[in-house]
Amino acid sequence: MEKVFEKNETNWSEHSASQVENAGERRKSVADEVTELSSIEATAASKAAWLISATVSTGGFLFGYDTGYISSVLVTVGASLGHELLSSEEELVTSLTSGGALIGAVFAGLMADRFGRKLPIWAACVVFVIGTVLQTAAYSVVQFAVGRFVVGLGVGSAAMIVPLYIGEIAPAKYRGRMIAFNNMSVTLGQLIASAIGAGLAQVPGEAWRGTVGIGALPAITLGIMLFWCPESPRQLVARGRLDAAERVLLQVYPTSSPEQRHAKVKSIEMSIHEATASMGNESLGTSFLRIFRTPPTGRAVLTACLIMAISQLGGFNTLMYYSARLFAIVGFSNATAVAITVSGTNFIFSIVNLFLVDRFGRRILLVVTVLGMSLCMLTAAVAFHWIPINLQTLELEGDNVGGAGIIILVAIIVYVACFSSGVATIAWIGTELIPLEVRALGTMLNTVTCWSTNIIIASTFLSMMKGMTPSGAFGFYSAICFIGWIFIVICYPDVKGMPLEAIREVFMHGFGRAYSKQWQKENKDAPKVVQQTFGH
């Protein structure tokens, strides 16, 4: 009997090993076939593809403008809302936008798969305009706070859908740059908002209302231009509209052949079929549980969300929301003008990222820049030790700041350069890691991570400055960046140039660092995409 048992055990082990091997071979063959069917990627991308990305990236401009103007408004609003704002009220009106954005991202995520990618963007534009009007006409803290919350609903919706839409419509060769273009629009919005805010700060009266009101213009512009943008081809395939999907592919790849477009549609169908074969008619709750119960999907979503958390908890938005206040604390007389250096640096290095992200890949940029962020915050923390600040009022005591103020300014500028050229954009590109069957839900979680951590930063910065001292607060941000850097070094895979349908295989192999590196090595001799820019 014992021998029989041992024999059966051996047979079972061999059978199990055979099943694992067959499953691995099946996944490999599917990945290979998907790659082969994506030969359309070897054709030139059209100007239309870039123009579509540029158009919907106006949604990023909304995000940037909103986060950019609040810094100047906080130091110029005075008693326009009934009384001088307390520190707690400043934190409230700042963080309410993040709270609204979190809720807006959830609703946009729920709408994205059911109604497509375009409708939630239209809804975001309408909501943003309503929130802007409420703020501009506010004469009480309550109405201004409600307006900030409503604007947040629009900002969160756009911030969630736009990178998702671009990632699905962009050619693999340019996907990183096209999503980076959205982030560049964010930084441009922040720069313009800071410049307008600084300029109108010199105008007597309530000129801050003009700074806020101008924000409605890009929302109206985006809502109009969206009529000329197509739906995502992956959404069209998922709904069975194959002919419409091929027309969109022709628009994006004008030199492709009918066979290549048909093959691309087939590869998307294969990816959808494999991803959803076992899902059936799942409820929303079941779909969420699938993310966490399916290890490869869970690792993909976790990686995207952790990078987003690093981008927010690392302290950057304290500089965007409170830069004018911060520079006033360290002794700069025209703090709103000095704060433009933050927005300007952010914009310039977002352009740098545009040229680097697809050439060198995501991983190496993160490894270098997140460590740089940690070191810059540590430098600022040390410099703050030498600046006399009243922790009750957060005002400078005395007039002699010395070189410490300059060190803090330089450290902040270098920090912003590292942030903008690395994690700022790559956190949003992270949607490319998420499998198609849960991409909308996964992207929603990614965006919720953005805004929930943003709320923490916006609502605690001034309190941390008082309770932990400025050195303690900036030291905390430095530690967050360093912990994030360790995660990136150990776990983050680089999926530069991989079709979305092939990326889903990466997390079948742990966090996929070795697998993605091997894939890129094996495909480096594949036909290269013909490069085409706006000017050609």
Residue 501 near residue 233, CB atoms below 8 Å: no
Any domain includes 146: yes
Any domain includes 192: yes
Any domain includes 60: yes
Q: Which of 69, 98, 81 is nearest to 460 (CA)?
A: 98
Where do we find the tokens 């005591």? 397
Paired residues of 290 in beta bridges:
none
pLDDT at residue 81 in the model: 92
pLDDT at residue 20 in the model: 35
Q: Which whole number is the average pLDDT over 489-518?
A: 84
Q: Helix (H) and strand (E) counts for the chain? A: 23, 2
Distance, in Å, from the CA atom of 477 to the CA atom of 314, rounded to the nearest integer, reads 5
pLDDT in tens, 134-179: 999 999 999 999 999 999 999 888 888 888 888 888 887 787 788 7
Any domain includes 394: yes
Give the orientation angle of helix 87-115 with respect to helix 439-467, to 10 degrees: 180
For the record, the structure tokens of 470 come out as 């400025």
Q: Which whole number is the average pLDDT over 67-88?
A: 85
pLDDT at residue 210 in the model: 92
In sign, the C-alpha dihedral spanning 241, 246, 249, 254 is negative
Distance, in Å, from the CA atom of 478 to the CA atom of 482, rounded to the nearest integer, reads 6
Residue 35 near residue 266, CB atoms below 8 Å: no
- Whether residue 208 has pLDDT greater than 60: yes
- Whether residue 26 has pLDDT greater than 50: no
pLDDT at residue 171 in the model: 83
Any domain includes 240: no
Structural domain range at position 167? 44-229+285-522
Q: Which whole number is the average pLDDT over 219-231?
A: 91
pLDDT at residue 7 in the model: 43
pLDDT at residue 212 in the model: 93
Lowest-confidence region among 84-93, 176-185, 440-449, 521-530: 521-530
pLDDT at residue 534 in the model: 28
Residue 80 near residue 130, CB atoms below 8 Å: no
Residue 434 near residue 363, CB atoms below 8 Å: no
Any domain includes 383: yes
Q: How many domains does the chain have?
A: 1
Residue 446 near residue 163, CB atoms below 8 Å: no
Q: Which whole number is the average pLDDT over 321-349?
A: 79
User: Which pTM value belongs to this model?
Assistant: 0.71
Q: Give the pLDDT band (50/70/90) at residue 18.
A: very low
In sign, the C-alpha dihedral spanning 470, 487, 364, 445 is negative
- Whether residue 459 has pLDDT greater than 70: yes
pLDDT at residue 38 in the model: 59
Beta strands in 245-338 (DSSP E): none
pLDDT at residue 315 in the model: 87
Q: Which residue would you say has higher pLDDT here, 533 or 190? A: 190
pLDDT in tens, 240-257: 888 999 999 888 888 888
Q: Give the pLDDT band (50/70/90) at residue 281.
A: low
pLDDT at residue 143 in the model: 95
Residue 299 near residue 507, CB atoms below 8 Å: yes
Q: Which residue would you say has higher pLDDT here, 266 or 145? A: 145
pLDDT at residue 282 in the model: 62
- Whether residue 216 has pLDDT greater than 80: yes
Q: Cβ neighbours of residue 534 under 8 Å, at least 6 residues apart?
A: 47, 50
pLDDT at residue 413 in the model: 92
- Whether residue 483 has pLDDT greater than 80: yes
One DSSP character per residue, 53-108 reads HHHHTHHHHHHHHHHHHHHHHHHH-TTTTSSPPPHHHHHHHHHHHHHHHHHHHHHH
- Whether residue 28 has pLDDT greater than 50: no
Any domain includes 237: no
Instruction: Return the CATH number at 513.
Output: 1.20.1250.20
- Whether residue 489 has pLDDT greater than 90: yes
Q: What share of the chain is helix, strand, coil (3-state, %, to 5)?
A: 80, 0, 20
pLDDT at residue 398 in the model: 67
pLDDT at residue 16 in the model: 38
CA distance readout (Å), 479 to 392, 435, 455, 492: 25, 31, 19, 19
pLDDT in tens, 469-481: 889 999 999 999 9
pLDDT at residue 535 in the model: 28
pLDDT at residue 400 in the model: 66
Average pLDDT, the chain: 81
pLDDT in tens, 407-421: 988 999 999 999 999
* Exposed/middle/buried for residue 298 (C-beta within 10 Å: 0-12, 13-18, 19+): middle
For the record, the structure tokens of 301 come out as 């979503």
Q: Which whole number is the average pLDDT over 79-96?
A: 87
Q: Which whole number is the average pLDDT over 306-328?
A: 85
- Whether residue 10 has pLDDT greater than 50: no
- Whether residue 438 has pLDDT greater than 70: yes
Any domain includes 359: yes
pLDDT at residue 15 in the model: 41
pLDDT at residue 86 in the model: 85
pLDDT at residue 37 in the model: 56
Residue 430 near residue 311, CB atoms below 8 Å: no
